Structure 1
Amino acid sequence: MREIDLSIVAYQPDFALLRQLLSSLAEPLDPPARLNVLIHDNSPDPEVTARLKALPELQPGGAFTRIDVQHSGANVGFGCGHNANAARGTAPLFFVLNQDCILEPGAIAILLGHVATDPANVAAWELRQIPYEHPKAYDPVTMETPWTSGAATLYRRAAYDDANGYDEHFFMYGEDVDLSWRLRAKGWKLRYVPRAGIVHRTYSTPDEVKPRQAAGGVFASLSLRARFGSPGRIAEGFAMLFAELTRRRSYPGRRRSLLAAYLRYLWHAPHFLLTRVKANEHFRPHFAGWGYEIRREGAFHELRSWRDVPVRATPLVSILIRTVNRQALLREALASCANQTWPNLEVVVIEDGPAFSRAVVDEFRDRLNIRYKATGERVGRAHAGNLAMAEARGEWLNFLDDDDLFFADHVEVLVESVQRTGLKGAYSLAWETHTEFVDASRAVYEEVLHVTRHQQRFDRLILWHHNYLPIQAVLFHRSLFEKLGGFAEDMDQLEDWNLWTRYTLENDFVLVEKTTSKYRVPAAARVAAERQALLDRAYEDALERQRALALTLSPRAISEMADAYVRSQAVMMVTRNDLRRFVGSHKWLASIASWRQPAKEWLRRRRIVR
């Protein structure tokens, strides 16, 4: 039977919220596990510790095998508190949790499943935060992440001890990045497990400015640069701090708190400089401003908890993959499907030609509801896509090219969007990933650059001019295929643009402003130019096909579309109506305007103006 030490550092806790956390931890497990609750209370008042010990959830005979609540006597900080809990624990798994989070149903069982199947060099498994997922990018195939959050991460005890736990020179903020980087430098791997989640309502409003977090972030960044960064990165940190001090105040006492963080850093700098960690084959630090990773857009896209919606509609979604003898890339695409958080999914793979990829598909039969069909002879991309749509059983359909990838929340985010809006299609932001292939047959490549090429809100006129819907970014209702048909089978390029044009003549789609997928384009200039030449030739053909399409619109609808199009293309546009509304809303401007016509008449009578 598995045993886990549950580590909670408390400070003036919200007891109602803490009881919800303990109740979520106490939910039945299958298979069962021994759970030990270790609480280190940093509250100054020992009465808080006494109240913690008296909680009904922490009484003997309940769900927890062992209960140990200690009072520190002072607020010693986040990392120090967890280290104290680790010293009192003995279980092979050490689960670090914030006092203000609540586990999603089945989270521990999902984590234990990963512990059982992941390689022994995986040190930690991070849970997804709800409603706001941390936007750091991760590998959608391996689910490796650059660092794991201290809000909710399960550590392998051997790895935690190998790194000597959290560095207690961090009081709060940054200690989780530091521990993650030290683990990676020792060769340990870190995993992100978005199917296991916590509700962690740390922001009262999106983009909320937190004074303590701002100051803690400055100290953390300077300290991490001192330990892991080059002299140039250290100097960059000082320059960033100077820039922050010259910016407009975003909260009272901002400059004072940032200067205090800087002085605190100077006091601790010798410790970090004397314990420097060098980059190696396993680890290279990444500094991006005040962050430590490449970030996906959509940090404040709100995710729903399964506890908030007890009866949640989960329609079947079909992922449609066309492939042509590219097994290694197909394997990665399928892995990104297997990692999806959406619970009701099927994958339809159509191979254009002989059944080269059957063995790869068979590898995923225990992880995916998957079907495979090979055409035997080459029939073309468009025909293969139509076969995939005909084979699909899902209410919602989504294409994925065999060299593209989904992030784990892709399907979930799009389905929730169409459920919320009632529309028949949704699309999200996607990374255009410039890729240099070393060996495509083994999926050996380097991702050189990520660009969010399209951030266009739905607009028909713009879509008629050029395609801003990457094929893998779009989820659409199967009724569109049943009513309007599939790809034009005599097209081999831009067949998806033609499809979206027909599907949106009478149906609106909605943009979800979160990066949930990535599609590859060649990084090499010569290959990119050849690819663009093919698209340019196909563009003229696609335009001619648009001439055959017809749409019935009222004059007013056409006027509104044109107005929206012009606005979207202009840096600044002021119409006559805009000017009238602006003038009418200011009394002194309106009074001046009221004299315009009488003055003009007076001048005309005197033949000063015509």
Structure 2
Amino acid sequence: MRSLARQTYRHFEVIVVRDGGTPVDQVVTGWQHELPITLLGTDQPLRVSHARNLALSHARGEHVALLDDDDVFLPHHLADAADALRDGQADAVYGQALVSHTWIEALPRTPHGLPRKDCPFDAVFLAVANTIHTGSLVIRNPASTPVRFDETMTHCGDWDFLLALHHTAGYRFNRLNTITCIYHQLPRPGAVTSAAPRPSPVPRPPSTSGGPPRTGAKAYREWFREFDDRIDARVVGDLPVAPHL
């Protein structure tokens, strides 16, 4: 909520969905003097896809941005997206997401050492790996399309949504050239991260020639086969493996 209040672009509504858990009425009330907020919710947790679909069903704006409770928009996030969407050449834009394992709400002075989720849009690559962070995404409101989050999926619902936007609704994607949000990967009670362990952002396969990292769908497939073999070897050898792997 604090990062929304800091946005330089102000023409937006806020829809907060509580998916079960602790009531957030007092938190929302504390921000209603600064933000136009609609609070929705369920008493029983129905998972993030249901929460997002509920919000989408109430969204009146021409465009929609998604923000989990463990992520942060930088102040120019919505302004940069609005500028990129204004000419009608794209239906979905996404900024670079800085990945942090500690809680931060602003860019550090030297963000270059931190990982980012910032792959250029490549439909073939997207079919192999989820290359776009959901919290970096601003899209044309999909109300007129059949695309929604698949509530039967317990994993990869974000990825499925992106694929459906592109292949079913024909959305044109464009990546922004700026870091617009912070993607937190840290354990915190009540946060989205506590629902299921998350792998790191899409890794860039190491270079075998000493040059820049290999990129693209084919290189990623090769890298992932090698990665999978290493995990299999650890399982066979009864060695510890991270839960999300």
Instruction: State whether TM-score is above 0.5.
Output: yes
For the residue of structure 2 that corresponds to 1:522, the secondary structure is coil
- How much has 1:569 moved relative to structure 2? 9.2
Q: Which amino acid aligns with 2:129?
A: H
1:516 maps to which residue? Answer: 180
Cα 1:454–1:378, aligned 2, differ >3 Å: closer, same or farther?
Answer: closer
- How much has 1:453 moved relative to structure 2? 2.6
1:503 maps to which residue? Answer: 165
For the residue of structure 1 that corresponds to 2:177, the secondary structure is strand
Deviations 1:219-255 (A, max 9, x none): xxxxxxxxxxxxxxxxxxxxxxxxxxxxxxxxxxxxx
- How much has 1:484 moved relative to structure 2? 2.4
- How much has 1:566 moved relative to structure 2? 5.7
Q: Which amino acid aligns with 1:348?
A: I
Q: Matched residues in 1 for 2:20 and 2:157: separation?
A: 19
Deviations 1:255-302 (A, max 9, x none): xxxxxxxxxxxxxxxxxxxxxxxxxxxxxxxxxxxxxxxxxxxxxxxx
Cα 1:370–1:468, aligned 2, differ >3 Å: closer, same or farther?
Answer: same
> Among 134, 144, 152, which residue is 1:490 paired with?
152
1:468 maps to which residue? Answer: 131
Q: Matched residues in 1 for 2:137 and 2:78: separation?
A: 10
Q: Matched residues in 1 for 2:22 and 2:221: separation?
A: 47
Q: Is the 8 A contact 1:484 1:503 kept in 2?
A: no
Structure 1 gaps of 5+ residues are 1-333, 438-448, 536-563, 571-610
Cα 1:452–1:484, aligned 2, differ >3 Å: closer, same or farther?
Answer: farther
Deviations 1:401-451 (A, max 9, x none): 0111011000000111111352111001010111279xxxxxxxxxxx873
Deviations 1:495-534 (A, max 9, x none): 11100011012222000010010011138xxx99x8247x
Q: Is the 8 A contact 1:398 1:474 kept in 2?
A: yes
Greater RCO between the two (CA within 8 Å, min separation 6)?
2
Q: How do residues 539-554 of structure 1 correspond to structure 2 at under 5 angstroms?
A: none
Cα 1:366–1:511, aligned 2, differ >3 Å: closer, same or farther?
Answer: same
Q: Is the 8 A contact 2:103 2:184 kept in 1?
A: no
TM-score, structure 1 as length reference: 0.30
Q: Is the 8 A contact 1:407 1:516 kept in 2?
A: yes
2:13 maps to which residue? Answer: 346
1:365 maps to which residue? Answer: 32
Q: Which amino acid aligns with 1:427?
A: Y
1:549 maps to which residue? Answer: none
1:220 maps to which residue? Answer: none
Q: Matched residues in 1 for 2:172 and 2:221: separation?
A: 20
Q: Is the 8 A contact 2:18 2:51 kept in 1?
A: yes
Percent pairwise identity? 24
Q: Is the 8 A contact 1:432 1:453 kept in 2?
A: yes
The answer to whether residue 43 in structure 2 is matched with residue 380 in structure 1 is: no
Deviations 1:287-334 (A, max 9, x none): xxxxxxxxxxxxxxxxxxxxxxxxxxxxxxxxxxxxxxxxxxxxxxx0
Q: Is the 8 A contact 1:405 1:517 kept in 2?
A: yes
For the residue of structure 1 that corresponds to 2:197, the secondary structure is helix
Q: How do residues 129-140 of structure 1 correspond to structure 2 at under 5 angstroms?
A: none
> Among 74, 99, 122, which residue is 1:459 paired with?
122
Q: How do residues 68-467 of structure 1 correspond to structure 2 at under 5 angstroms?
A: 334-353=1-20, 356-435=23-102, 451-467=114-130
Q: Matched residues in 2 for 1:461 and 1:341: separation?
A: 34
TM-score, structure 2 as length reference: 0.71
Runs of 4+, deviation exceeding 6 Å: 567-570
Number of aligned residue pairs: 193
Deviations 1:532-580 (A, max 9, x none): 47x9xxxxxxxxxxxxxxxxxxxxxxxxxxxx8569999xxxxxxxxxx
Q: Matched residues in 1 for 2:173 and 2:34: separation?
A: 31
Cα 1:452–1:512, aligned 2, differ >3 Å: closer, same or farther?
Answer: farther
Q: Matched residues in 2 for 1:401 and 1:431: separation?
A: 15
- How much has 1:350 moved relative to structure 2? 0.5
RMSD: 3.0
Q: Is the 8 A contact 2:19 2:46 kept in 1?
A: yes
Q: Matched residues in 2 for 1:436 and 1:516: separation?
A: 16
Q: Matched residues in 2 for 1:419 and 1:565: separation?
A: 30
Q: Which amino acid aligns with 2:40?
A: K
Q: Matched residues in 1 for 2:30 and 2:103: separation?
A: 27
Q: Is the 8 A contact 2:128 2:221 kept in 1?
A: no
Q: Matched residues in 1 for 2:143 and 2:161: separation?
A: 9
Cα 1:483–1:344, aligned 2, differ >3 Å: closer, same or farther?
Answer: same
Q: Which amino acid aligns with 2:186?
A: P
Q: Matched residues in 2 for 1:569 and 1:386: separation?
A: 32
Rg bigger for which structure? 1
Q: Matched residues in 2 for 1:395 and 1:416: separation?
A: 14
Q: Is the 8 A contact 1:458 1:508 kept in 2?
A: no
Q: Matched residues in 2 for 1:382 and 1:343: separation?
A: 26
